[in-house]
Amino acid sequence: TDDILKNVVSHAKEYGFVFPSSEIYDGLSAVYDYGQLGSELKNNIKTYWWKSMVQLNENIVGIDSAIFMHPKIWKASGHVDGFNDPMIDNKDSKKRYRADQLIEDKITRYERDGKTDKAAQLQNDLDQAIKDDDLGRLKAIIEDHGIVCPISGTKNWTDVRQFNLMFSTKMGATAEGAEDVYLRPETAQGIFVNFLNVQKSGRMRIPFGIAQIGKAFRNEVIARQFIMRMREFEQMEMQFFVRPGTEMEWYEKWKAARLKWHLALGSNSERYRFHDHVKPAHYANAAVDIEFDFPFGFKEVEGIHSRTDFDLKQHQEFSGKKMQFFDPEINQSYIPYVIETSIGLDRMFLTVLCNAFEEQDLSTEDKKDSRTVLHIHPALAPVKAAILPLTKKDGLPEKARELMDELKLDFNIQYDEKDSIGKRYRRQDAIGTPICITIDHQTLEDNTVTLRHRDSMEQERVKLDDINGILQKTTGW
Ligand code: ATP
């Protein structure tokens, strides 16, 4: 199964989806660049999220707050003191790990070996240790289960210590006047500190939500599994402000709505599951993850958290500004409670690739054949259609260009006249293009073309005039 991830990673690079950052300088750990197709796919995922959260919900609006924020914000939010991961070093390899991840990997191995009781027991122990903030217990678990360093293969571990994940830098021109600022580790705080601005300027009434897509930065203890755990990544977060006492109702609603959003892409529902947190983060009273069955096991893609009034209350205290809403329906002022939905754009991207990637055997009795195809949902596909003149002569390229010039106003289209038509179909399959349009000699006579469908590989003859409509229908939301 790790091979599947390897194949996805190399496919993503070969076709221009994801490149390691600074590659000609041997890369920068856990930082990646999105290529020409990756950035299209990423934009389409953002659009899918933005449309379904902001456009389809009259009581949710979107903002775009700055990455730099007043440093006091991170004191108030608890990140300066509490945004830590438990880390442990192996004394032989000198490699550093996250203690909880080493244990989670062991759980995955128990699950794979069919030792479900052992896996469940270990999950319980881990949850309990995290709940109690018991670093000694984490170390004991690692020792009891004989967990070895993946590099050195030894059990020679240091004690478990806390490690703060925030990046900091200096703001200001002169060294004396410079102030320490942080790169935001989550986009949520930009929403909380703008709560009143948006509420007043947008005349919002509770319940309402504020959404945002943007970069976040975390100095992850260990980088691994491709774009799963990056040091610079993107989040799509929505904070939903509700009347105190109604938060659990909204928590359940958003939990269901968010799973539905994932499944609406046509993905296999068995690859998704909920994982409840026994110990929600310092700001929450309930939390659940939506997990996806990655090639390396079920892992979090999205978190839904009931954040109570923790953040707004902290900001009220630290800023000295009232963070209250006057609710005309009950004639009362209060600090709203908050339900958060928080999804990693890059992890979402990886689920799309993992769901879509297939190495398909097309062999018949007398001929061996195969193709690599990305069954990406047509609305997310980076290229919506490819226009392929059958030959490079007889006026076919000109006819194809005419169609290209019309369609490119509405869709991201590729034009390709190199190599045999079969090879060109395979190239489009490999990048997930749902439709290929072939212009041949008959097109010049009767204005019909061959449409070839990615998933079924079926072909049909359609009128040129119908193509725009067909593309709207196939690739629209
Ligand atoms: P994990 O336990 O995997 O570190 P988390 O619980 O710290 O994740 P949250 O703080 O809930 O994550 O962040 C919300 C979402 O942001 C996650 O569901 C994930 O999709 C994404 N995310 C968090 N950290 C990273 C990262 N280092 N790289 C990519 N995406 C991330």
* 91-116 tens-digit pLDDT: 999 999 999 999 999 999 999 999 99
Distances (CA, A) of 464 to 201, 379, 451: 48, 22, 10
- What tokens were used for 396? 């076919």
Residue 277 pLDDT > 80, yes or no?
Answer: yes
Mean pLDDT across the stretch 230-240? 98
Angle between helices 345-356 and 36-50 (to 10 degrees): 110
- The binding site for substrate comprises 98, 186, 233-237, 340-344
Binding residues: 98, 186, 218-220, 233-237, 300-301, 340-347
Any atom of ligand 1 within 6 Å of the Cβ of 234: no
CA of 75 to the centre of ligand 1 (A): 20
pLDDT over 70 percentage in the chain: 99
233 C-beta closer than 6 A to ligand 1: yes
Is residue 1 pLDDT above 70, yes or no?
no
In this prediction, residue 53 carries a pLDDT of 98
Ligand 1: does its nearest atom lie under 6 Å from the Cβ of 338?
no
Span from the CA of 344 to the centroid of ligand 1 (angstroms): 6
Q: Please report, as a single letter, which amino acid is at residue 422.
A: G
Domain 383-475: CATH superfamily, name plus number: Anticodon-binding domain (3.40.50.800)
pLDDT in tens, 369-386: 999 999 999 999 999 999
Most confident by average pLDDT, 57-66, 81-90, 284-293: 57-66
pLDDT at position 477? 83
Atom of ligand 1 nearest to the CA of 218: 27
If you measure from the C-alpha of residue 255 to the centroid of ligand 1, how many angstroms do you get, rounded to a whole number?
17
Which residue has 């948006």 as its token pair?
198
| Confidence label for 221 from pLDDT (cuts 50, 70 and 90) | confident
> pLDDT confidence of 281, banded at 50, 70, 90?
confident
Share of the chain above pLDDT 90, in %: 90
Q: How far is the CA of 89 from the centre of ligand 1 (A)?
A: 22
The answer to whether residue 236 scores a pLDDT higher than 90 is yes
Which pLDDT score is estimated for 18? 98
Output the pLDDT for position 278: 73
Any ligand 1 atom below 6 A from CB of 346? yes
CA 470 to chain centre: 29
Closest CA to ligand 1's atom 29 = 229
Nearest CA to ligand 1 atom 1: 300
Query: Residue 87 forms beta bridges with which residues?
Result: 98, 161
pLDDT reported for residue 143: 95
Report the residue count for the chain.
477
Residue 187 pLDDT level (bands cut at 50, 70, 90): very high
Q: How far is CA 81 from the centre of its chain?
A: 27
Confidence band for 401, pLDDT divided at 50, 70 and 90 = very high
Is the CB–ligand 1 distance for residue 300 below 6 Å? yes
Residue with tokens 């203890």: 221
State the maximum Cα–Cα separation within the chain, in Å, rounded to a whole number: 79
pLDDT confidence of residue 114: 94
- Both tokens of 99, joined, read 């203690």
User: Which atom of ligand 1 lies closest to the CA of 230?
Assistant: 28
Asked if residue 235 has its Cβ within 6 Å of ligand 1, the reply is: yes
Structure pTM? 0.92
Q: Give tens-digit pLDDT for 405-453.
A: 999 999 999 999 999 999 999 999 999 999 999 999 999 999 999 999 9
> CATH topology for 2-83+165-353?
BirA Bifunctional Protein; domain 2 (3.30.930)
d(CA 349, CA 46): 10
- Numbered ranges of CATH 3.40.50.800 in the chain: 383-475
Pocket probe mutation, ligand 1, options 300, 306, 354, max atoms within 8 Å of Cβ: 300
Q: Residue 471 and residue 467: Cα distance in Å, rounded?
A: 6
For residue 294, give Cα distances in angstroms to 9, 66, 78, 297: 13, 32, 31, 5
Q: Identify the band that residue 355 occupies on the pLDDT scale cut at 50, 70 and 90.
A: very high
* CB distance 342 to ligand 1 below 6 Å: yes
Q: According to the model, what pLDDT value does residue 224 have? A: 79
Mean confidence (pLDDT) of the chain: 95
175, pLDDT greater than 70: no
The pLDDT, as a whole number, for residue 333 is: 97
SS (H, E, C) the chain: CHHHHHHHHHHHHHCCCEEECCHHHCCCCCCEEECHHHHHHHHHHHHHHHHHHHHCCCCEEEECCCCECCCHHHHHCCHHHHCEEEEEEECCCCCEEEHHHHHHHHHHHHHHCCCHHHHHHHHHHHHHHHHCCCHHHHHHHHHHCCCCCCCCCCCCECCCEEEECCCEEEECCCCCCCEEEEECCCCHHHHHCCHHHHHHHCCCCCCEEEEEEEEEECCCCCCECHHHECCEEEEEEEEEEECCCCHHHHHHHHHHHHHHHHHCCCCCHHHEEEEECCCCCCCCCEEEEEEEEECCEEEEEEEEEEEECHHHHHHHHHHCCCCCEEECCCCEEECCEEEEEEEEHHHHHHHHHHHHEEEEECCCCCCCCEEEEECCCCCCCCCCEEEEECCCCCCHHHHHHHHHHHHCCCCCEEECCCCCHHHHHHHHHHHCCCEEEEECHHHHHHCEEEEEECCCCCEEEEEHHHHHHHHHHHHCC
Tally Cβ neighbours within 10 Å of residue 202: 13
Domain ranges in the chain with CATH number 3.30.930.10 = 2-83+165-353
pLDDT of residue 413: 98
Residue nearest to atom 10 of ligand 1 (CA): 186
122 lines ligand 1 (CB under 6 A): no
